[in-house]
Amino acid sequence: MDRDVKKAIEGNEREKGMEAMSACYQGFDPAAYLQYNYTPPRADFDRPDSIVPWKLECLHRAFTEGDVGGKVLVDVGSGPTIYQVLSGCEVFDTLFLTDFLEVNRQELRRWLWGEGGGSLDWTPYLQHVCKLEGRCPSAWSEKAARLRSVVSDVLPIDVHRSDPLHPGSKLPGAGADCLVSSFCLESVSPNLDFFNRALGHIGGLLRPGGHLLLIGALGESYYMAGPGVRIPVLSLDEAQVCASLKGSGYTLVRLEVYSLPQDMKVGVDDVTGVFFVKARKP
Ligand SMILES: C[S@@+](CC[C@H](N)C(=O)[O-])C[C@H]1O[C@@H](n2cnc3c(N)ncnc32)[C@H](O)[C@@H]1O
Ligand SMILES: O=S(=O)(c1ccc2c(c1)CN[C@@H](CF)C2)N1CCSCC1
């Protein structure tokens, strides 16, 4: 087949894949998503085997062990959540939260700068991270104020585009010093080729020597993002995560895996585990 024709067909297939995934996300319900994933039993701070303490500890350690630093932190695919930057906001003074959907960007703005506060009370998360930092849990309001003070903007993003941030949203300097992204790439990629390309696209936002903190689902093929809103997920295993990072040129610093207890499998998805990756862009 003529190479140009092949490229046109491939390009057309990619556009179709992006449109199909975008259509899936039009029903995304931020409040329902938060309810499904960020309230008990999944978010139970009193359970030693709960995933929340594990994940917040992974993030705290990654941001505070001395090798991560700079000015600009970008969270890719923030959704309606802020837990993923509660440690990073103490290290960086310029944060960008990003998401594909306006409903999620609005949810973030409501918590950051709005009157109502948002759909979820993040106080337990703020208190837990304060404890990890050796601070009194009552310092949670100071941490909330710090986060609100360092978030520069909540930006639209599409990881399937070679320049994921819209042309008008250029990052300061030579790019981000650190990227964090949780449950995004595998949740928006129709197949492994999309996943690997998206990983490459977000890597373009990161300066050489910068760090990627990537959190994601293992063994997940779908999740519910609202009543009747079923979103397909690219099912990953540890080996594939490592292969994709290597293929994208990253140096793996650490990979940690959490296996979900049976009672945390509550029907909102079929996730079997969660990975936490710290990697460095050479
Ligand atoms: C499973 S949620 C993850 C939310 C949050 N990071 C968390 O840890 O719970 C996936 C997010 O990816 C966003 N998304 C969907 N398509 C995207 C795209 N093409 N590029 C970037 N983000 C996208 C969705 O709007 C949603 O907020
Ligand atoms: O690991 S979670 O249970 C979690 C949190 C979010 C998600 C999943 C799992 C699995 N499905 C994902 C779909 F993309 C979203 N968790 C919720 C409490 S705070 C730490 C993260």
Domain annotation covers residue 105: yes
Q: Is residue 210 part of a domain?
A: yes
DSSP codes joined into one string, 44-102: -TT-TT-HHHHHHHHHHHHHHSSS--SSEEEEET-TT--GGGTTGGGT-SEEEEEES-H
Residue-range definition of the domain harbouring residue 205: 26-280
The CATH code of the domain that includes 259 is 3.40.50.150
pLDDT of residue 277: 98
Which ligand sits closest to the CA of 199?
Answer: 1
Tell me whether residue 7 is in a domain. no
Report the chain's C-alpha Rg in angstroms.
Answer: 18
Ligand 2: distance of its center to the CA of 37 in Å?
5
Which numbered atom of ligand 2 lies nearest the CA of 184? 14
Can you read off the two tokens belonging to residue 76?
A: 């890719």
Whether the ipTM is more than 0.95: the answer is: yes
Angle between helices 123-132 and 140-150 (to 10 degrees): 100
Quick one: pLDDT at residue 5? 85
pLDDT at 172: 82
Task: Name residues whose C-beta falls within 8 Å of residue 225's C-beta, 6 or more positions apart in sequence.
Answer: 25, 27, 28, 29, 32, 33, 231
Whether 83 contacts 63, CB under 8 Å: no
Res 9: pLDDT: 82
Q: What are the residues facing 275 on neighbouring strands? A: 216, 257
Please, which residues have CB within 8 angstroms of residue 232's CB and are 6 or more apart in sequence? 24, 190, 221, 222
For residue 276, give the ligand nearest its CA: 2
In-domain check, residue 2: no
pLDDT score recorded for residue 126 = 97
- Mutational test site, ligand 1, from 99, 159, 186, 194, max ligand atoms within 8 Å of CB: 99
Answer yes or no: is 242 within a domain: yes
In b/e form, how buried is each residue of 229-244, taking b as 16+ CB within 10 angstroms? bebbbbbbeeebbbeb
User: What is the reported pLDDT for 266?
Assistant: 87
- Cα 121–Cα 38–Cα 26 angle in degrees, nearest 5: 100
Q: Quick check: is 274 in a domain?
A: yes
Gap between the terminal Cα atoms of the chain: 38
Nearest CA to ligand 1 atom 26: 79
This prediction's pTM: 0.96
Residue 20 lies in a domain: no
CA distance 108 to 90: 19
From the CA of 274, give the closest atom in ligand 2.
1
Residue with CA nearest ligand 1 atom 1:
183
Query: Are 260 and 51 within 8 A, CB to CB?
Result: yes
Q: Which residue, by CA, sits nearest to atom 14 of ligand 1?
A: 100
* Residue 95 near residue 73 (C-beta atoms within 8 A): yes
Predicted local confidence at residue 49, as pLDDT: 83
pLDDT at 1: 81
Q: Which of 192, 196, 198 is nearest to 160 (CA)?
A: 198
> Is 44 part of any domain?
yes
Other C-beta atoms lying within 10 Å of the C-beta of residue 258: 18
User: Averaged in consecutive runs of 10 residues, what is the pLDDT profile of the chain (282 residues)?
Assistant: 84 89 96 96 87 95 97 98 98 98 98 88 96 95 97 97 88 92 98 98 97 98 97 98 98 96 91 98 96
Number of domains observed in the structure of the chain: 1
Letter for the amino acid at 148?
A: R
Residue 74: CB atoms within 10 A of its CB come to: 30
- Tell me if 139 sits within 8 A of 126, measured CB to CB: no
